[in-house]
Amino acid sequence: MPATKVGFIGLGSMGRPMAVNLLNAGTDLMVHNRSQEVVRELAGLGAEAATSVAHIAGECDRIFACLPNEETCETILMGDDGVFANVNPGAIVTDHSTVSVGLSKRAAEYAVRSGAQFLDAPISGGPVGATDGTLSIMVGGDEAAFNSVLPEFEKMGTNVIRFGASGAGTAVKLINQLLTCIHTVAAAEAFNLANAAGVDILKATDLLQKSFGGSTMVGRSGPITADRSFEPSGAPMRNLIKDIGIIMSMADDMKLSMPTGTAAAEILYEGRDAGRSEHDIAATIISIEEGSGGQASRSARQLKRNN
């Protein structure tokens, strides 16, 4: 049996280290990215540079994509010059992007028409997890296809779970992102309270992480908030802004009440409107600080009166 040829499209802050881990594990890898600098870097590590998406689709048995947004994902996967228009029958296409469930299901339909298979397999763990190979990978799609790709998944992540049919992995990722958005804003609100009370943020973070109030986002945001080191960031606010938009649209379609999700979205959108989309997600505290003394404190006084 010939060796499996693997393709990777999208070499950003997540895709690049994932591709490097595949290379380090001995994978026969072809890569493609809009920016050629990172392609040249990976070629220096042993990857083959694809000339186009069509090239990578026509050459590879396993194709992985890690793309920044729905528009790019749709173009790369389903466009006239995209993966499914050029893929070989029997190939397995995996999308690691955070997109809507509807887009993942449409991609699966395109795959069927092209004779390929599709897995939605969004990831969590950030650039650190991508670099360390410790990502959580939540997968939707055919079980046999999942089992075929599992060896590649295990080169990139340590928590790999198939949740069901196409769209299931994306649904779990959006649930994760809802919690991430809420926890990010909650941590910012807590640290704003700590600052106002004269509490040392780093000491508070250490204690909170050993208490019921701790969370991944408390542990992450605490040191960044203490140092006010919001730029540059491997986890810019624009990512959560994109994700919360997808989540709220999904909830609206399902007619679900999302009170804390709505509150988190408002804070994130305030950061966007103030020009902080490229700031670290911990910079949500700035929007809360700017509201203190205004609507935020009025709301607190109103609650006190009502009690």
Q: Does the pLDDT at position 169 exceed 50?
A: yes
- pLDDT tens, position by position, 115-145: 999 999 999 999 999 999 999 999 999 999 9
- The pLDDT of residue 297: 45
Per-residue confidence band for 298, with pLDDT thresholds at 50, 70 and 90: very low
Final residue of a structural domain among 106, 139, 164: 164
Query: Can 173 be counted among the known catalytic residues?
Result: yes
Give yes or no: residues 297 and 220 share one domain.
yes
- pLDDT tens, position by position, 228-274: 999 988 899 999 999 999 999 999 999 999 999 999 999 999 999 99
DSSP letters along 249-297, please? HHHHHTT---HHHHHHHHHHHHHHHTT-TTSBGGGHHHHHHHHTTTHHH
Q: Does the pLDDT at position 55 exceed 80?
A: yes
Final residue of a structural domain among 164, 196, 214: 164
Separation of alpha carbons 260 and 183, rounded Å: 10
Share of the chain above pLDDT 70, in %: 94
Rounded to an integer, the average pLDDT of 17-33 is 98
Give yes or no: residues 119 and 15 share one domain.
yes
- pLDDT tens, position by position, 259-271: 999 999 999 999 9
Give yes or no: residues 154 and 178 share one domain.
no
> Among 105, 173, 203, 210, which one carries the catalytic annotation?
173
Final residue of a structural domain among 164, 198, 213: 164
Residue 79 is classified by DSSP as S
Any alpha helices (H) in 60-133, and if so which ranges?
70-78, 101-114, 126-132
CA 187 to chain centre: 19
- The pLDDT of residue 3: 66
Q: Name the pairing type of β-strands 135-140 and 123-124.
A: antiparallel
Distances in whole angstroms, Cα of residue 123 to Cα of each of 31, 108, 228, 270, 303: 19, 18, 28, 26, 39
Give yes or no: residues 29 and 151 share one domain.
yes
Give yes or no: residues 113 and 248 share one domain.
no
Q: How many domains does the chain have?
A: 2
- pLDDT tens, position by position, 69-97: 999 999 999 999 999 999 999 999 999 99
Which residue in 139, 135, 159 sits closest to 147, CA to CA? Answer: 139
The residues near 153 (Cβ < 8 Å, ≥ 6 apart) are 121, 137, 139, 160
Q: What helix, strand, coil percent values describe the chain, rounded to 5?
A: 55, 15, 30
Give yes or no: residues 130 and 260 share one domain.
no
Give yes or no: residues 23 and 148 share one domain.
yes
* pTM score above 0.75: yes
Residue-range definition of the domain harbouring residue 298: 171-306
Asked if residues 279 and 231 have their Cβ atoms less than 8 Å apart, the reply is: yes
